[in-house]
Amino acid sequence: MLTCMSDHAILEEEGDAWHRRNSDTQTRLHSDPVLAEIATWALHCPPAQVLEIGCAAGSRLSAIHDRYQSTCFGVEGSSVAVQEGSARHPAVKIEQGIAPSCLTQFDDGSFDLVILGFMQYLIPREWEFNLATQIDRLLSTGGRVVAYDFLSPIPSTREYSHQPALTT
């Protein structure tokens, strides 16, 4: 029987496994579509407070901090990524956690930019509205959301190729 990803599966297994499979790609920021999108408006209105949900080791946040002097926070399911990122990018505050539950620690209106970093496909569909509600709560007036994830023409669920007992 297939089950949806749970906090436990992401925190204890798949977060670290994903990081091991993809850590070499996380520092290739020259062609990052998220940074390209931010660059279209940030020179005129740089983000002051940034949160990335699914930040891996924080390389994107570090680039945002360096380019725009933003205060950057990240939440990430992988403890290995959090340790690496905290050592590699000391100007970025990275914590282990799973959205949307980990977002309650932040005050209303805390961020003028929230980035969803390639993580929505991993969370159960029933969490989506809570995630949207939390992001809306966290955004300051006029704040922006940049979401980068798979684009599917129709909603679907399928076996997760890296852990067949889970679905995405």
115-137, pLDDT tens digit by residue?
997 676 667 778 889 999 999 99
- Closest by alpha carbon to 31, among 75, 56, 68, 63? 63
pLDDT level of residue 2 (50, 70, 90 thresholds): very low
Read off the pLDDT of each residue in 133-146 and give the average, rounded to a whole number.
97
Highest mean pLDDT among 10-19, 22-31, 48-57: 48-57
Helices 33-42/59-68 angle, 10° precision: 20
Q: Which domains does the chain have, with CATH numbers?
A: 3-21+48-167 (3.40.50.150)
Whole-angstrom distance, CA of residue 75 vs CA of residue 79 = 10
Cα–chain center distance at 110: 16
Note the pLDDT tens digit of each residue in 38-69: 999 998 999 999 999 999 899 999 999 999 99
pLDDT at 115: 96
Question: Which residue from 72, 142, 137 is spatially nearest to 109, judged by alpha carbons?
Answer: 137
Q: Residue 83, by phi and psi: left (phi above 0), alpha (psi -120 to 50) or beta?
A: alpha
What is the reported pLDDT for 148? 83
Strand order in the sheet with 163-167: 3-4, 163-167, 159-160
pTM over 0.85? The answer is: no
Residue 30's pLDDT is what? Answer: 80
What does the alpha-carbon distance between residue 73 and residue 114 come to, in Å, rounded to a whole number?
A: 10
pLDDT band at 99 (very low <50, low <70, confident <90, very high): confident
